[in-house]
Amino acid sequence: MSGKTRVWSRREIEGLIADGRKIIIFGDQVLKADAWLPYHPGGDKSLLHMVGRDATDEITALHSKEAQAHMQKYVIGRVHGKWENLLPPIQGGTFRPLVSEQVDNKALYTEEDASSSGQSAASSPVFDAADTGDEVRLRHAGNNSPVSQASSFLYSSAEPDLGQSKSTEASIAHAISSDPSNYPRLDKRSQDEVAAKYRQLDERLLSEGLYECRYSCYAVESIRYAVLFVLFLTSLHYSYYALSALFLGMLWHLLSFVVHDAGHLSITHGFHTDSCIGIFIADFLGGLSVGWWKRNHNVHHIVTNSPEHDPDIQHMPFFAISSRFFASLRSSYYDRDMKLDAAARFFIQHQHYLYYPILLFGRFNLYRLAWSYLLDPVQAPRKGAAWWHRYLEMTGQGVFWYWYGYRTLYLSIPTWSSRITFLLISHMVTAPLHVQLTLSHFAMSSADRGTHESFPQKMLRTTMDVDCPPWLEFVHGGLNYQVVHHLFPRLPRHNLRRAQPFVKEFCRELGIPYVIFSFTRGNQEVISRLGEVAGQLRVLEECRKVAARDLIQGHHRH
């Protein structure tokens, strides 16, 4: 029997994973991705989160047809029937090794072994403490609950009437997304229907031509970039340093959206072409790393809003969007514990006040992450088609610090006070980008719904849109349509507005909430959620103090 046509049983695949093999299901095909790990341009972590899973929708959403064709090299057979997901080892799944006699290079198993599920137990709870509390509260709430009040605007951009719910100070977005009754059930039939209709929607968007990049939009944007660049140089020449820094920061802000496009290969759809566009803008012009971004962002798209696994919400000690962070969770991305130490207790208890001040310094952290990626012997691909991207990025870093650090900051600005002012303004002006990136997720559910939840349902539960008028869309870079983007990451951002009505129709048909707020209301939702978690930590700290006091008093009595 040919290796590519062999039918693998569930028990055999479990045994392969127990032996350390990286087995991924794509359609009815079995992929063994071990040899591909060092070559994957998006890093190894995103692949590890798909081990033991039917990753058809994730692979289709994040990879071009050419990349999918390349994956055929790693096909070792197929499975029969619909695959039921296992919990990947990186997420805490455990697997039973095979114990059998080998006959003609094929394992023989008992009927019981062949039909066993092989499903490992999850190491994390199904719902976090905060989500469970909301679930219970909302099920017993009447018409004044946040969900009831929010139901009238789920499919519109209108602002909610918060008259009766202000006293709760609860995030409506979190209340909506954390209530399981708002979403299709997690049984096989319901989730298969969601996945099937999602694939039909993808085909519809393709037939509508929405995967085709509109280069005319980049022509208009190029005018904005040129104007800001000229204003930056002119102001610098005439010693208006603060104004020059303002224009440079605005230019960085707008160019970052092009880097995002290039990272998803949605400009030319060519791997090396889009990668070089991203490297030129991110590294040469901005001092950031598009390679780091790809490695981070791919994981974010697969395990969105998972406290243990999504690096985009792992901001300890500064922020925690769930009480699950109080348990000093271990990050599977950074391979370290996110400790709730004294610093974390201080920042988290005040995080709703510190949210904007901390984000003002977000770009400085991106420099650190860029160099930690480029200098790490493991993170950046050293083999395969992308091996040279790392060296091009390092060259870009040198060019950036030459023109910005030496030519601009040091040579063009005469005093240290003016240099520091220029440095801070140029970086702090980019803070809206960091707000934009956190806005669509911080207020949404971070619960673990298990291995049966479909990819599209998870994206809709963990992501919200930000509504804005078309003329202001360039400020958001089109990424205010995060719901659409997370469902279809390779869709060019200039087509996201056109795709939104199709996605809303998809949600209405399935009865899934489409959460959308204005920019102002979205910020209020995030601050509310951060305030909720801060309050939970304050209560926890008070309980610890009372328990410690009672313990001490008990010792004294004895």
Q: Is pLDDT larger for residue 467 or for residue 132?
A: 467
Cα 365 to chain centroid, rounded: 17
pLDDT reported for residue 130: 42
pLDDT, one tens digit per residue, over 222-277 is 999 999 999 999 999 999 999 999 999 999 999 999 999 999 999 999 999 999 99
Phi-psi region of 31 (alpha: psi -120 to 50; beta: other; left: phi over 0): beta
d(CA 88, CA 95): 9
Residue 4 has pLDDT above 90, yes or no: no
Question: What's the chain's average pLDDT?
Answer: 87
SS3 352: helix
pLDDT of residue 466: 93
Q: At residue 143, does pLDDT exceed 50?
A: no
Tokens coding 441: 């997720």
- The neighbour count for residue 520, using CB atoms within 10 Å, is 10
Q: What is the pLDDT of residue 558?
A: 58
Q: The tokens 């990025």 sit on which residue?
A: 393
Name 65's Cβ contacts closer than 8 Å, sequence gap at least 6. none
Spatial separation of the C-alpha atoms in residues 269 and 261, rounded to whole Å = 10
d(CA 542, CA 13) in angstroms, rounded, equals 49
Whether pLDDT at 129 is above 70:
no
Say whether pLDDT at 526 is over 90.
yes
DSSP string of 369-385, one letter each residue: HHHHHHH-TTTS--SST
Strands of the 23-26 sheet, one edge to the other: 23-26, 29-32, 75-78
Query: Per-residue pLDDT for 380 more than 50?
Result: yes
Mean pLDDT, to the nearest integer, of 379-407? 92
Contacts of 517 (CB under 8 A, 6+ apart): 157, 159, 173, 464, 465, 466, 467, 525
Q: What is the pLDDT of residue 411?
A: 96
pLDDT at 167 > cutoff 50: no
> Going by DSSP bridges, is the β-strand pair 465-467/516-518 parallel, antiparallel, or unpaired?
parallel
What is residue 71's predicted lDDT score, i.e. its pLDDT? 93
Answer for the pair 423, 252: CB distance below 8 angstroms, yes or no. Answer: no
SS3 at position 228: helix
**pTM here?**
0.86
pLDDT reported for residue 154: 43
pLDDT band at 552 (very low <50, low <70, confident <90, very high): confident
Provide the pLDDT for residue 291: 94
Write down the domain spans for the chain: 3-91, 181-517
Does position 122 have pLDDT exceeding 70, yes or no? no
Alpha carbons 401 and 410: distance in angstroms, whole number: 11
Rounded to whole angstroms, the Cα distance separating 50 from 71 reads 14
Query: Does 168 have pLDDT greater than 60?
Result: no
| Predicted confidence band of residue 2 (pLDDT cuts 50, 70, 90) | low
Taking residues 160-168, what's their average pLDDT?
38
CATH 3.10.120.10 for domain 3-91 = yes
What pLDDT score was predicted for residue 161?
Answer: 38
Q: Which residues are 25's β-sheet partners?
A: 30, 54
**pLDDT tens-digit series, residues 279-296:** 999 999 999 999 999 999
Whole-number pLDDT of residue 535? 94
DSSP state of 490: T
Residue in this structure with the two tokens 């002012």, named with its chain if needed: 421
What mean pLDDT comes out for the span 59-70?
92
